[in-house]
Structure 1
Amino acid sequence: MSMRLMGKTALVTGATSNIGRAIAEAFASEGAHVAVSGRSTERGNEVVEGIRARGGRADFVRADLDGSAAASQALAREAQQALGGRIDVLVNNAGIYPGDTTPATDEGTFDQVYAVNVKAPFFLTAAIAPAMVAAGGGAIINLGSWIARLGVPMGALYSSTKGAVETLTRAWAAEFGPHGVRVNAISPGVVLAPSPGDPHPGEIMMKGTPAGRLGTPDAIANAAVYLAGDESSFVHGIVLDVDGGRTTAAVIAA
């Protein structure tokens, strides 16, 4: 282990599965003390126990980020306590994805998706960034999505929330960057944890890309380690595409 995050503390939301879990595990393997956050205590404790079994430091902080300022503020307080009084790195990963068409999306679903995907990270950042400024610096990493910039015929609601998150990334970089807090985003492609069995329908979305395959959570976690660490100290306000080339290049088969 290179210990690129030794001495840092990190809060990762939605860290009990898939990309969030991979980021939490990668941060811990690089020396960070990680607050693993999510709704499921059982899954959260499983992640923490795995990290500790490998010699890392982690604590579970349960949170149901429903979009209310109160829920985000409570998580900020509890995570700060679990991490010994400070949060050096915040990863806004928690989100929900309804894949409905626009006509099939009701108002309740619309409000819920914006609450979880936009309001929750907005108020969590509002609660944590000032403390980072007061402490002399920090890093915030938001999770966007490739379908924020490449239209597909399903999931317009979700893609619009990720477009909002990417816009917030640039705005927060301008707001907090001059005070020592770097804000960046990662835009994953089609990412799934490896599993045996029949091919996943998502594989068709990666046909015609340079990678030609699905991504894995570890690929996103590696990017998050870079953006959280000191080696990216000159990186502000970017959206780092980790999508196998889905949004930038097309491979035309002969």
Structure 2
Amino acid sequence: MSTELSGSTALVTGGTSGIGRATAIALAGLGAHVVLSGRDAGRGAEVVSAIREAGGKADFVAADLTDAASAKALADRAREVGGHVDVLVNNAGIFPTGPTASLTEADFDRVYTTNVKVPFFLVAELAPEMAARGHGAIVNVSTMVATRGMTGMALYGSSKASVELLTKAWAAEFGPSGVRVNAVSPGPTRTEGTAVFGDGLDELASAGPAGRVAAPSEIAAAIAFLVADKASFIQGAILPVDGGRLAV
């Protein structure tokens, strides 16, 4: 196990499955004390157990992230468990698809609350403390459809486009105080959440140079890179991790 992030605490939202789970494991492998959040306590306990059995340090915090108050409550719990938060990975997100006219106002509010409002208020709560300490790293998880118009992806894609602009704005705001803010933009990735797309996921991935779907660990590796000191001169970047899908 590496000690690159030893002494630091990392909060990973949506850390019980998919990219979040892989990220929690990757950051724990670098020596971070990982606090992972999610709604399923059983899955959370499984991730924590896997990390601890490998010699890492992790805790699960149950959180249903529905508004600014729930974001603040999660930040408070993460501080209680980890003492302070040095790394924030805004991974929790939802991605309903469908024609614009088929989506309701409730769908709109739910997507923007989970994908934009909650990350905004987590950063508002935690980034100033990182800045006061003179160091920190934030990674937001976006998507290739934030910059590529695709049928059925208007609502989800637009929410993540907001996240990408926030990433750049936060880099400008907090970077001078030592807090690096970046984002990863995954392409088609095989997770529990994307299983509903079936063969469509493979078809989307086949158009890229890599010609295949990513594993969650491949996205997590990019997040871990951006968090670590080796990425010390990278700020406000949106790193595509999409098998080259945006190149064609």
Q: Separation in 1 of the partners of 2:64 and 2:84?
A: 21
Give the AA of the match of 1:157.
L
Letter in structure 2 aligned against 1:10? A
User: Which residue of 2 is the match for residue 220 of structure 1?
Assistant: 219
Q: Secondary structure at the match of 1:87?
A: coil
The question of 1:94 aligning with 2:98 is answered no
Partner of residue 150 from structure 1, selected from 134, 148, 151 = 148
Distance 2:206 2:220 in 1: 23
One-letter code aligned to 1:201:
G
* RMSD between superposed Cα atoms in Å: 1.2
Q: Which one-letter code corresponds to 2:2 in the other structure? A: S
CA contact (8 A) 2:15 2:92 kept: yes
Task: State the alpha-carbon separation in 2 of the partners of residues 18 and 4 from structure 1.
Answer: 23
Partner Cα separation in structure 1 for residue 115 and residue 191 of structure 2: 21
| Contact 2:130-2:179 at 8 Å conserved across structures | yes
Specify the code of the residue in structure 2 equivalent to 1:135.
R
Query: 2:99 and 2:5 mapped to 1: Cα distance?
Result: 41
Structure 2 counterparts to residues 60-99 of structure 1, below 5 A: 60-66=60-66, 68-83=67-82, 85-99=83-97
- After TM superposition, the structure 1 = structure 2 runs for residues 168-179 of structure 1, keeping only pairs within 5 Å, are 168-179=166-177
Q: C-alpha separation between the residues in 2 aligned to 1:102 and 1:169?
A: 26
Structure 1 gap segments, 5+ residues each: none
What's the secondary structure of 1:158's corresponding residue?
helix
Report deviation, 1:86.
0.7
SS at match of 1:15: coil
For 1:21, the equivalent position in structure 2 comes to 21
C-alpha deviation, 1:4, in angstroms: 2.5
Does 2:223 align with 1:241? no
Matched with 1:56 is: 56
Aligned match of 2:125: 127
- More helix per residue: 2
What does residue 33 of structure 2 align with? 33
Letter paired with 1:179: S
Could you tell me how far 1:17 is from its partner in structure 2?
A: 0.3
Paired positions, count: 243
Alignment-derived partner of residue 159 in structure 1: 157
Quick one: which of 98, 110, 113 aligns to 2:111? Answer: 113
Alpha-carbon distance in 2 for matches of 1:109, 1:208: 30
- SS of 1:52's equivalent in the other structure is helix
* SS state at 1:139 partner: strand
Percent of residue pairs bearing the same amino acid type: 53
Matched residue SS, 2:7: coil
Q: Distance in 2 between matches of 1:153 and 1:226?
A: 32
| CA spacing shift, 1:215–1:29, aligned 2, 3 Å | same
Contact 2:17/2:191 (8 A) holds in 1: no
Q: CA deviation at 1:42?
A: 1.0
Deviation at 1:133, TM superposition (A): 1.0
The secondary structure found in structure 1 opposite 2:184 is strand
Deviations along 1:69-99, one digit per CA (max 9) or x if unpaired, are: 111001001001111x211100000001111
Give ranges in structure 2 of 5+ residues lacking alignment.
Answer: 193-197
Runs of 4+ with deviation above 4 angstroms: none
Q: Which amino acid aligns with 1:242?
A: V
Q: Which residue of 2 aligns with 1:231?
A: 230
SS at match of 1:214: coil
* Structure 2 residue aligned with 1:191: 189
